[in-house]
Amino acid sequence: MSEVHWGLLVAAYLFLAGAGAGALFISGALVLSEKVAHAHHWSTAKFSAIAGLLLLMLGTGMIVFDLTSFQYGIFNGDMSKLLRFYRLFMTFEPSSMMSIGTWLLTLAIIFALLFCFSFKRHDQETFTSRGYALINLILAVCVASYTALLIGDIKHNIVWSNSILVVIFLVSAISSGAAVVLIVKTWLKQSDPHHHFAKADSMVMLIELFVLGIFVYVIANVSKFYGLDNLLGMATSAGKIWWLGAVVVGLLLPLLLNLTSIMGRVGVSHAKEYGIAALTLVGAFCLRYSVLLAGQSY
Amino acid sequence: MLDRRRTLKLLAGGAIATTGMMFIPADPVIADIRRQGKKRLAMVIDLGRCNGCKACVVSCGIENGNLPDEHRTQVPQHSVDLNGKQYVFNLPLLCNNCDKPSCVSVCPTGATFKREQDGIVVVDSQLCIGCNYCIQACPYDGVRFTHSATGTVDKCNFCIQRTSRGLLPACVETCTGGARVFGDINDPESEVSRLIRQHRPLVLQAGKQTSPNVFYIGLTQDESNRANSINSPQTWQR
């Protein structure tokens, strides 16, 4: 393939949907684990759910901005083209992963909204909140998996139709969701003296590094089989974004920063926490962008 | 005279009707097109007759209103290595209007569909939202593109506006070498059926399992397996 039809906006769509789903997953898990009995966990769960909802909505906006009919409508002042995106939300085509995903995202946004409203009750033990938390947890897993299945449905694409991509995007969604939660915690001025959060975050990053390693190995082999240069090699633009953005900036640096705090048994400054979260989010975006580019570069 | 009650009734009726209209799925809109006939239109391209004049590219652009850089069909030159010598041949490319098209199932709005009456794969530009999912799903690079004048996806549909009236596609009509032959593959008396019986032509990338309806006479197995692109740089322009 020579033309890049899916670029930054689709990468942003996959990233924001993943990060939003991750934040909602962690928020739902906090409610279900009854940790919300503690006030600081309650606040974290509440604001993480709100952040997750906003990210899902922003992500859905990105796929609308990427539609060529929408762009045509903007640049030519054609309202019928501008508003045609509604067909995406009004038509259900069960054979199309994009159609399934759009409905899934719409459902996830509706239930995330209900979940956020349930926090207004201030009744931490109510069944309603736990019910919504469970639904959000399930929908978050579905949305995060969908972001990989959307491109995985392109069966002839040797990069995208790789089943481990679902695991990668799922783990990356939890990792970037954790980064959103870390921003929320830091914003709420909550400290992590025993490094519980940093330890859990590091564990997710290690799992992500492991699955990324498998993916790199598979892509190197597949590229060789088809007589292509390594699609994730440093010689390609996708490879540069993958290795520098997703692996070094998004995983190794935050992992190093987390580990130095855990091993040194020192408190983590808020600036450092913001830094770790920002690096993780940049990495999660680069991961999706590089996978999109690699799939369109041969 | 409209009293308040009647006005409210009309407004409510209008709101219900509008909501109902918005929820109409794509299927009924195209059902009437799909209902009739069972032809399977196909094209046979004899590479030995293609002289690379590109009359097909020009006539296609004029017939279908495509811009100069956006082509439903193109004739890139491809080089082959034969007994240590380089040769160049013309390979006309267009949408294969496949029997099992990978673009149809992925379309989220039902804008891309396969006509039951003749097997042509069509993009309804009134329904297409331009998500480019079909472009990604198609294994034949470049045969689908975004039409700059509509902002929606466009591709070869065997000049449906002509073939529906019994005319030939513009590219077939203007082919100076008579390389492009078009007709019903299910009619044993048609020219395409005769050529297919006689030459056993190959299709492009048969391994992708899409059952294309564009057949090539004079293509080797190795050449047919290559991922040729409509956007390949022209050999003469390199």
B41-46: strand order across its sheet? B180-184, B41-46, B214-217
Asked whether A118 and A132 are in contact (CB, 8 A), the reply is yes
Q: What band does B44 get if pLDDT is binned at 50, 70 and 90?
A: very high
No. of helices (H) and no. of strands (E), chain A: 12, 0
- Return the pLDDT at B24: 38
pLDDT digits (tens, 9 = 90+) for A4-27: 899 999 999 999 999 999 999 999
Residue range B33-237, CATH number: 3.30.70.20
Q: What band does A139 get if pLDDT is binned at 50, 70 and 90?
A: very high
Among chain B residues, the shortest Cα distance to A93 is held by: B108
Q: How far is B222 from chain A (nearest CA, A)?
A: 14
- Return the pLDDT at A147: 95
| Interface residue of B29, B71, B109, B229 to substitute, partner A, most A CBs within 10 Å | B109
pLDDT at A213 over 90: yes
C-alpha A185/C-alpha A178 separation (Å) is: 10
pLDDT at A71 over 60: yes
Which chain B residues touch A153 with a CB distance below 8 Å?
A: 106, 137
Calculate mean pLDDT across residues B18-30: 39
Q: Which amino acid is at B22?
A: M
H or E stretch at A197: helix A196-225
B128 touches chain A (CB under 8 A): yes
If one compares A1 and B142, the residue with the highest pLDDT of the two is B142
pLDDT at A53 over 60: yes
Count contacts between A and B (CB, < 8 Å). 97
Q: Give one DSSP letter per residue of chain B, joined into a string.
A: ---HHHHHHHHHHHHHHHHHHHT--HHHHHHHHHSS----EEEEEETTT-----HHHHHHHHHHT--TT--SSB--EEEEEETTEEEEEE--B-----SS-HHHHH-SSS-EEE-TTT--EEE-TTT-----HHHHH-SSTTSEEEETTTTEEEE--S-HHHHTTTPPPHHHHH-TT--EEEEETT-TTSHHHHHHHHH--B-TTGGG----SEEEET--HHHHHS---TTPPPGGG-
pLDDT digits (tens, 9 = 90+) for B156-194: 999 999 999 999 999 999 999 999 999 999 998 999 999
Share of chain A above pLDDT 90, in %: 80
B103 touches chain A (CB under 8 A): no
Q: How far is B189 from chain A (nearest CA, A)?
A: 36
A225 touches chain B (CB under 8 A): no
CA A244 from centroid of its chain's CA atoms: 19
Q: Which amino acid is at A37?
A: A
Q: What band does A114 get if pLDDT is binned at 50, 70 and 90?
A: very high
Which chain A residues touch B132 with a CB distance below 8 Å?
A: 5-6, 66, 68
Query: Residues near A64 by Cβ (< 8 Å), separated by ≥ 6?
Result: A70, A85, A88
- Return the pLDDT at A265: 73
C-alpha B220/C-alpha A112 separation (Å) is: 56
- Return the pLDDT at B30: 37
Mean pLDDT of chain B: 84
Q: How far is B192 from chain A (nearest CA, A)?
A: 29
Residue for token pair 């897993």: A141
C-alpha B125/C-alpha B151 separation (Å) is: 9
B160 touches chain A (CB under 8 A): no
pLDDT at A124 over 80: no
Provide the residue ranges of all domains of chain B, joining segments of one domain with +: 33-237
Closest in A68, A78, A90 to B130, CB measured? A68
Give the residue among A256, A261, A203, A190 at the shortest CA–CA distance from A47.
Answer: A190
C-alpha A113/C-alpha A60 separation (Å) is: 15
Q: Say whether A93 and B129 touch across the interface (CB within 8 A).
A: no
C-alpha B145/C-alpha B23 separation (Å) is: 28
Q: What band does A45 get if pLDDT is binned at 50, 70 and 90?
A: very high
Residue for token pair 């992708």: B208
pLDDT at B136 over 80: yes
Integer CA distances (angstroms), A98 to A59, A101, A154, B178, in order: 14, 5, 11, 42
- Return the pLDDT at B13: 53
pLDDT at B34 over 70: no
Instruction: List the beta bridge partners of residue B155.
Output: B144
Calculate mean pLDDT across residues B77-92: 85
- Return the pLDDT at B1: 47
Cα atoms found within 13 Å of the Cα of residue A96, Cβ hemisphere only: 26
- Return the pLDDT at A192: 77
C-alpha A298/C-alpha A158 separation (Å) is: 9
Closest in B139, B151, B153 to A81, CB measured? B151
Residue range A8-295, CATH number: 1.20.1630.10
| Interface residue of A71, A72, A100 to substitute, partner B, most B CBs within 10 Å | A72
pTM assigned to the model: 0.87
If one compares B16 and A103, the residue with the highest pLDDT of the two is A103
Least confident range from A226-230, B1-5, B125-129, B211-215: namely B1-5
- Return the pLDDT at A270: 85
Asked whether B151 and B130 are in contact (CB, 8 A), the reply is yes
DSSP A34: T
pLDDT digits (tens, 9 = 90+) for B115-125: 988 999 999 99
Q: Say whether B23 and A1 touch across the interface (CB within 8 A).
A: no
Q: How far is A192 from chain B (nearest CA, A)?
A: 44
β-pairing verdict for B85-90 and B77-82: antiparallel
DSSP reduced 3-state for A139: helix
CA distance from start to end of chain A: 5
C-alpha B197/C-alpha B187 separation (Å) is: 12
Calculate mean pLDDT across residues A160-175: 96
